[in-house]
Structure 1
Amino acid sequence: MSVSIDVAWKSLNKQNEELCGDKVEIIKTQDSDIMILADGMGSGVKANILATLTSKILGTMLYEGADIESCVETIAKTLPICKVRKVAYATFSILQIFHSGEAYLAEFDNPSCVFIRDGKIVKYPYETREIGGKKIHEYRFQVKKNDCFVLMSDGVIYAGAGSILNLQGWTWEAMAEYTLKCTKKTMSASRLAVMLSQACDELYEEKPGDDTTVAVARVIDRRVVNIFTGPPRSKDDDERLMHEFMHTEGKKVVAGGTSANIAARILGREIITKVDSRNPDVPPMATLEGIDLVTEGVLTLGKCLKILKKYVNDEFDAEFFDELDADNGASRLAKLLIEDCTELNLFVGTAVNEAHAESELNFDLSMRQNLVDQLIATAEKMGRTVTAKYY
């Protein structure tokens, strides 16, 4: 069994604070994916520093293969101690899912993880260990496809306390039931994170009384997306590129008019352009048998990148998904990369577009290459494994 992970998180800053006192760190090792949620003591700058240090120390040490005892002891020794409470650092949750399907979860003073499997809330047994005077809950278990895990800071279960829920706060049980209900509407980690964060914001009446973070991990199949953009420098390479592109597993996307014409010629099939007057800002898509998505090149890639960067910069909410669900080339490509991709393969031609070679638009090659470079960097920030081949 080889598993892949879809992860996303959303944070709400405490009211009147510019910085969040919670921090999420995602680390990929050769054999696992690690998600860390740290909650710094207090709020604002101090909490942000404590949470950032905690998550970075944990992430770096775990990446290097350190055990949990060493990690906790290092944090206890490294971070400053609060003069008032005589307590150091931050609380944290660490979820590590190995590609083999084995999983490990360690929690220190954060609310328990919500586990959802086969449409039910599951409670795994845990062992309690004392490390450096701190009680750590440890879980070890096997994951399977479609399992969903939600880590959270304590701001989540305090949501609504003092106003809507009459000092009770949103109990862990109520939050878990709501999560289960949401998973029946969507299994996308990013959409689920937005739903849960939005519910917390509403319970706080949009005035969060604490930093509030949900981090979602889903176990999914490996999903490969292949993008061919730009004609090869030599026409002799057209057939080689198309052969390699078509014989690579995964979904197929062709971005660019010249690229689409090459694909149609080599495949011996007809391109049919879809006329769409609803969104004049995005060039129309086309259909080509054997290809999952055919779009225009530079403009569409540029608009797709804007959407991806919003996602990377944590600027996604319910309205963001309205844009992502729009029926145009940029949104369709962005949706594919956000919600249906674990690995991205790029097949990039390096010829100057003949249509632009003799015009003032001879920036086409450098423009396309710049967009490809940005796409690689952005996809890697999204946690995708990216390879690029140039022709």
Structure 2
Amino acid sequence: MKMSLDIAWKSLNKAKEELCGDTVEIIKTEDSDILVLSDGMGSGVKANILSTLTTKIMGTMLKNGATIEECVTTVARTLPVCQKRQVAYSTFSILQIYKNGEACLLEYDNPGGILIRDGHQKNVPFAVKEIEGKIIREYHFNVCYGDYYIMMSDGVVHAGVGTRSGFGWPRSEVARYIEEMCASDISSSRLMSMISSRCYELYDGKPGDDTTVITIKVTEPKTVNIFTGPPVDKKDDRRAAEEFMSESGTKIVCGGTSSNIIANYLHKPIRASLMYYDPDIPPTAEIEGMDLVTEGVLTLNRTVQMLAAYNLGKVDEAFFKQLYGMDGAARLCKILIEECTHLNLFVGRAINETYQAAALPFDLSIRQRLVEQLVNECRKMGKTVSIKYY
């Protein structure tokens, strides 16, 4: 058994604040994934500093094998003290899920996480321990394929306080709402968006507190392979195609020349489409054995833009309407967000002659720049990314 996690998260800033007082850190090790959520005291700049320090310190120490006692002690001794309240205060939740399904969760003053299995909430027992005067809840449990786990800051359970709902959104009601959403096989990103949107509605569009939700779906590893760009040396075309085809998982080709390389290797024709679902994105094509065949630069550029918007938390109904579109960029972006845990990129470094003829002022090809941005955005989402250049 080898678990992979589909992780999505979003923060809503407290109304009129430019910075969020909640911070999320995702750390990947060889045998586990670690998620740290911290909520700094107050809001704005000071809260952001407190929560950022907490997540960075704990994430770095845990990645290097430190115990939770060492992490909490270090944080307690490191955080700057608020001159007004004379305390250094930052709540936190730390969830570590190992590849074999074992999980450990530690919470300090954050709302309890919610585990959904087979569409129903599953209560997880916990032990209480005191470290440096802080009361910590410690959970140990196992996860299964299809499980959802939701972590949150107290902005979620406070959603609506002082507005039309008056008394906030109790954790029990949050759990019931999530159960309803998980009745179907919903993606982690879609679930995150729906919970966050519900909080925003309860706050009447003016969050009274920093509000963060992290959704985690336990899945089998889902590998996506993307081939784009011809190799510098044409003699490497066959080697690149062989290595691309040897990988298991979803197969995607981006670019006309790249499509010809794969089609020639497979001895299969390219069946082009003339259907424009978006006037700015060229039509897709088909090659037997490929899951998606798209144009290159324009499609990659739109994909990167959508991934960047997703990572910035600009996730609403309009975003998902675009994501579930039929054009090549939407289809590629949806696969990367909802159907990918591991991404393998096979990238040719040859510079397109069209760009050279136009004397564009780039020291690298446009495609290569886009690939680097794609890698960066996918790693922000917690995807495991590898890349081979030719």
Tell me the TM-score normalized by structure 2: 0.95
**2: CA distance between counterparts of 1:121 and 1:357?**
55
| Unmatched 5+ stretches in structure 2 | none
What amino acid does structure 2 have at the position aligned with 1:18?
E
Whether the 8 Å contact between 1:229 and 1:349 is mirrored in structure 2 is yes
Other-structure match for 1:218: 217
The residue that corresponds to 1:149 in the other structure is 149
- AA aligned opposite 2:365: S
Matched, 1:101 2:96: no
Task: Quote the Cα distance in structure 2 between the aligned partners of 1:40 and 1:200.
Answer: 19
Q: Distance in 2 between matches of 1:368 and 1:213?
A: 35
Q: Indicate the residue corresponding to 1:293 in structure 2.
A: 292
Name the CA distance, whole Å, in 1 between partners of 2:213 and 2:185.
16
* CA-to-aligned-CA distance 1:168-210 (integer Å, 9 cap, x gap): 2111100111111122245322211111111011111111111
Contact 2:25–2:37 under 8 Å retained in 1: yes
Which residue identity lines up with residue 319 of structure 1 in the other structure? A
The alignment covers a number of residue pairs equal to 389
The equivalent of 2:14 in structure 1 is 14
In structure 2, C-alpha distance between the alignment counterparts of 1:357 and 1:174, rounded to whole Å = 56
What is the alpha-carbon distance in structure 1 between the residues aligned to residue 9 and residue 304 of structure 2?
A: 20
Residue in 1 that maps onto 2:113: 113
Q: Which secondary structure does the structure 2 equivalent of 1:323 belong to?
A: helix
Which shifted more, 216-225 or 186-195? 186-195
Which letter does structure 1 place at the counterpart of 2:110? N
Superposed CA deviations along residues 188-242 of structure 1, whole A, max 9, x for unmatched, are: 2221111111101111111111111111111111111111112223333222222
Identity %: 54
Task: Provide the secondary structure at the position in 2 that maps to 1:252.
Answer: strand
The one-letter code sitting in structure 2 at the alignment partner of 1:340 is: E
CA deviation vs aligned residue, 1:49-94 (integer Å, no higher than 9, x gap): 1111111111111111111111111111122344565543211111
Q: Any idea what the Cα deviations from partners look like across 1:115-174, whole Å, max 9, x if unmatched? A: 1011110111100001111110000111111111111111111111222223x2111100
SS at match of 1:104: strand
Cα-to-partner distance string for 1:269-295 (whole Å, 9 max, x where unaligned) = 111112223311001100111000000
For 1:60 and 1:100, how far apart are their aligned partners in 2?
A: 22
Quick one: distance in 2 between partners of 1:365 and 1:110? 46
**Structure 2 residue matching 1:279: 3-state secondary structure:** coil
Contact 2:40 2:51 in 1 (8 A): yes
Residues 123-142 of structure 1: pairs in structure 2 closer than 5 A:
123-142=123-142
Matched, 1:349 2:345: no
Matching of residues 233-382 of structure 1 within 5 Å: 233-353=232-352, 356=354, 359-360=357-358, 366-382=365-381
Query: Given residue 9 of structure 1, which amino acid in structure 2 is its aligned partner?
Result: W
Other structure's SS at 1:61 match:
helix
**d(CA) in 1 for partners of 2:36 and 2:363?**
42
What is aligned with 1:25?
Answer: 25
SS at match of 2:236: helix
Give yes or no for contact 2:277–2:327 (8 Å, CA) kept in 1.
no
**Residues of 2 paired with 1:266 and 1:29: CA distance?**
36
Partner of 1:201: 200
Residue in structure 2 matched with residue 60 of structure 1 by the alignment: 60
* CA–CA separation in structure 2 for the residues paired with 1:303 and 1:375: 11
Letter in 1 for 2:358: E
Q: Deviations over 1:234-264 (max 9, x none)?
A: 3332222222211111111111111112222
Q: Is the 8 A contact 1:22 1:47 kept in 2?
A: yes
**Aligned AA for 2:158?**
Y
Cα offset, 1:16, TM superposition: 1.5
1:80 and 2:89 are equivalent in the alignment: no
Deviation at 1:353, TM superposition (A): 4.1
Question: Is 1:191–2:190 an aligned residue pair?
Answer: yes
| Residue identity opposite 1:116 in structure 2 | I
Partner SS, residue 207 of structure 2: coil
Relative to structure 2, which stretch is displaced further, 77-86 or 368-377? 77-86
Match for 1:150: what amino acid? I
Asked if 1 retains the 8 angstrom alpha-carbon contact of 2:276 and 2:327, the reply is no
Shift of the 275–63 alpha-carbon distance from structure 1 to 2, 3 Å rule, reads: same
Comparing 50-59 with 72-81, greater Cα deviation is found at 72-81
Q: Tell me, yes or no, if the aligned pair for 1:75 and 1:89 is still in contact at 8 Å.
A: no
Flag structure 1 segments of 5+ consecutive residues without an equivalent: none
Per mean C-alpha deviation after superposition, the further-off stretch among 375-384 and 201-210 is 375-384
8 A Cα contact 2:302 2:329, kept in partner:
yes
Read off the aligned partner of 2:160 and give its amino acid letter.
Answer: G
Give yes or no for contact 1:186–1:192 (8 Å, CA) kept in 2: no
Cα distance in structure 1, aligned partners of 2:188 and 2:338: 8
Q: Do the aligned partners of residues 3 and 17 (structure 1) sit closer, same or farther apart at CA in structure 2, a change above 3 Å counting?
A: same
CA RMSD of aligned residues (A): 1.9
Report what 2:42 is aligned to. 42
Matched residue SS, 1:7: strand
Q: CA–CA distance in 2 between the matches of 1:233 and 1:328?
A: 29
Within 2, Cα distance between the matches of 1:203 and 1:151?
19
